[in-house]
Structure 1
Amino acid sequence: MRFVIQRVTESSVKVDGKVIGQIGKGFMVLIGVADSDTKEIADKMVKKMTGLRIFEDEEGKTNLSLDAVGGELLLISQFTLYANCKKGNRPSFVEAGKPDMAEELYEYIISKCKEHIPVVERGMFGADMKVSLVNDGPFTIVLDSDRL
C-alpha cells in the first residue's frame, strides 16, 4: 500500500466539473493499493499517517499531528501509484490491486480515518477526477507499507 501525503492549506476534487470533496488545512492523500494488501496493512498505514507530526508548533518546529491542529483529510484513490516503468515508456499497472479489492480497502481506509479525524472528504473510486491543492511548504511524504 502506498500513500502520498501532501500537507495542504486547501484541496478539492471534482468529477464532471462538480466539487465532490473539499478541505482546508490538512492532508490530501493519494492512495494506491496492491493485490497483496490487507486490512491489517491499512490499519498500520492509517495509524502512521494520522500520527505524523508535520505541522509547525508555536516555535516553528514540525511537531504537531493532524489531530492537534484540527486538520482535515481528502482521500483520493490512485492506482497509478503502482506504475511499473522498467520496460519501455508505457507504464504497466499489473502490480495495482484488482478494482473490487482495491475499492473495498479504499472504503475501509476512509472508515478508519473517520474514527480519528472529524472531517474526512473523499474522491470517487475509478472516476476521472480533477484534484486541486495548495501544498503547504511544500511538504510531501510517501508512505510505503513495504517500508513500515
Structure 2
Amino acid sequence: MMNNLFPFADPLALTETMIERSWPWPSVTVDELAGMLEQQESPLLFDVREREEFDVSRIRDARHLEPSSTAREFMERHGGNLRERHAVFYCSVGQRSSEFIDRVHRLCQEAGSLSCSNLKGGIFRWYNTGYPVVNTGGVTDDIHEYNALWGIMVRKREASR
C-alpha cells in the first residue's frame, strides 16, 4: 500500500537495501535468525537500542547494549562469551547495530567469534514477519517505534484477545 508520506510499497525494504549498501557487515534474515535460535547452541543476540526501546519489547534472550557503548565496554562485558559463538546484532531497522558492529567486529573475531552479523531489517522486520517479541511480562504485541518517521515501517498487530 502506498501513501503520500512514504511513496514506497515497503519503506522498510528500502531502508534495508540502503543499510546493506552502506555497511560491509554480513546480515541474517529474520527466518535465518529464527532457525538459529532453535539450535542447541544459539547465537549471542545483542539488542543495540536505548533502554526505553528494549524495555517495551525485544527478541527473547537478547542482551541489551546501549548504542553509545564503547568497544572496550562491550568486550569487558561480553568478550568472554564470544568464543565459538555466532554474534547477531539488531536495532530497530539495522542502522545502529551496523554502526556498533563497525566498532566491535575485529575484536569479536580476535575473541574467537564464529561470525558477527546484523539482523536485516532489525526488530521491525522480525515483528512485521510475525515473530514474537517479549518484555518483562512475557510475549507482547507492543513495539517501540523509535520516532514517528520510523514508525511508519511497523505494521501494528491487532491486540491479542
Interval containing the TM-score (normalised by the shorter chain): 0.3 to 0.5
Q: Larger relative CO (CA 8 A, sep 6+): 1 or 2?
A: 1
Give the number of the structure whose residues are more often helix, by fraction: 2
Flag the structure with higher strand content: 1
With structure 2 as the length reference, what TM-score do the two structures score? Answer: 0.34
